[in-house]
Structure 1
Amino acid sequence: MFKKGENIILGISIGDMNGVGPEVILKTFEDQRMMELCTPVVFGNAKLLSFIKKIINCTTNIHGIDSLDQIQKGKFNVLNLWKEGVNLDFGTLNDTVGQYAIKSFVAATQALKNNEIDALVTAPINKYNIQSDEFQFPGHTDYLDKELDGNALMFMISEDIKVGLVTDHVPLQQVSKSLTPDLIKQKVRTINKSLIQDFNVIKPRIALLGLNPHSGDNGIIGNEELNFINNTVKELFNENIIIYGPYSADAFFGSEQFKNFDAVVACYHDQGLIPFKTLSFGNGVNYTAGLDKIRTSPDHGTAYDIAGKGTADFTSFKNAVYAAIDIYNNKNEYLQSTANPLKVSNV
């Protein structure tokens, strides 16, 4: 294996192979110049990707390897994680294909933990067909939160807007019960730290959205704001975190107030992701902030309706690759700049 310092080794989990995951991966690295930025390694099977490559009429050169110590710089490396054939039926939900998606993801996560890869980009999975006795997680983020150090936070990022979630894959009826002052503080602190070390924002400005319509209208439409959200914002501000709110979500986005902040914190999934995807769909990236390792993914799902047709837009996946590289470099620069180079004397 080449010396890792020469460029970033980027691990890629293959995702649901009946979806557009393999297609957007192949299209992203069809441009040979991408290999100047990173050295990719897909956790999957070279023959299978070669088959998909022909179906979608892609020209990416595939370099199959059988172990990670065979990774070559300047190549589109594919680790043969399995040798048997897998029957694909594009656009369909298949439990067997789902298990291969998780096999890829789990192996890539292990390589990330072992520092065999520097960052991870995950292709889309289907949350239904990945479930098994061995894997009982709603998705990538929850598994990474268990396997890696830190507290995972779903952070949706684009050039124009960044949205973090206090609760993510939680049924709507459980959101109010899940929302606590401690959880809000944890997520806001994570976002503030991420903005500083991962995105080079010196003094982040953060907005928190209220849980209820019109932020509760002084208790007329819900009491959470009065009971604890308002005070939580004040306590965070007293920690020298520049945070304002809670804001009424509809007016906040409708009036474009989000442009005045470096990040927006939403109380629940759709409150944050609907405006984010409306503004950035196809260009945004899902970054798992708060962990000791870097993982990004595109902002879309498996897109079964267009799988195997060669028409999938790979912009979001390519942006996820760029984001992983940028965050890796920013984080390393931050850690180096904040490290104390002087040894403490015992004299």
Structure 2
Amino acid sequence: MKALIYTKTGDLDVLQIKEIDKPTPKDNQVLISVKACALSITDYERFKTLSSKVSFSTQIISALMGFAGSPIGAEIAGVVVEVGENITHVKVGDSVYGKTAGTFPKGGFAEYALMDKDHVCVKPQNMTFEQASAISISFETALGALRKGNVRAGQQVMIYGSSGGVGLYAVQLAKSMGANVTGVCSTRNLELAKQMGCDYVIDYKKEDFTKVQTKFDAIIGVNGCNSMKDYKRLLKPNGIFVGVGGNVKQVSKAFLLSFISRNFSYFAGPIMPQKDYLSYAKELAETGKLLPYIDKIYSVKDTKEAIRYIVSSHTQGKVVVSMDFK
């Protein structure tokens, strides 16, 4: 089968379409014919310099996660072609979505890919393969962050970074939970944030979001690289800031503060799995409460351009690649 392989640690030129063996599902796995795959941070973060100068940390991460020699891609949608003995919730011919197999998911940019039992679900009936592929990791991360913040109906919730892949899901989830949502994003994303459910939007390029008069029960900081003191001032006495992503300094501060203050926590995304997240996303989607926002769709042959676009632009929502190898 054809696959887009990360042949070795390096710049975008190391991505090459090659012929590799078609995988075989184990007892708790499903093999699908991949129709679409969304780009996630593990796919493009390693190319963030857009040059041949690869940081030492990138080299270490690539080695530890076994990226070299494997197809990129983790968020996928497609059609089931084979199931393992222990699979009963999906069958051959079903249109499904979720993420690829393994502790460190990869392998989605291929004609065929494996999915583990707990990370595959029949796709929402009202969605295309492209839309469904844009859900799994970003949605699970947003869901985990809101659960960490114990978001409930009637609460005041701020989503910092409300127009990105995780942020837009956080907005929609908070609204579905009955919260009042304040989004923080840049000028060009204001209308999108409102469209996706924000009750109020702050343009951080024109307004100091820390001066808002509202006190919040929860603040979800998606790559929210700001002072922890600023966030603390915006919280109610029992409020909580939940960090998601961000630079090393931001991550370490939120993580360390979580041990000494009930006002701070950190959510590390897919390594903290959420039970039944795909079936929950399906339910929300089919009742009109969840809509993936796709910035652009590329052909697999143009994946390098897709990654270049993400790294060099402030994308809205997700970027998806169609697995049209033929």
Fold match (TM-score > 0.5): no
Q: Max radius of gyration: which structure?
A: 1
TM-score where L is the length of structure 2: 0.28
The structure, 1 or 2, with the larger RCO (C-alpha pairs under 8 Å, 6+ apart) is: 1
Give 1 or 2: higher strand fraction.
2
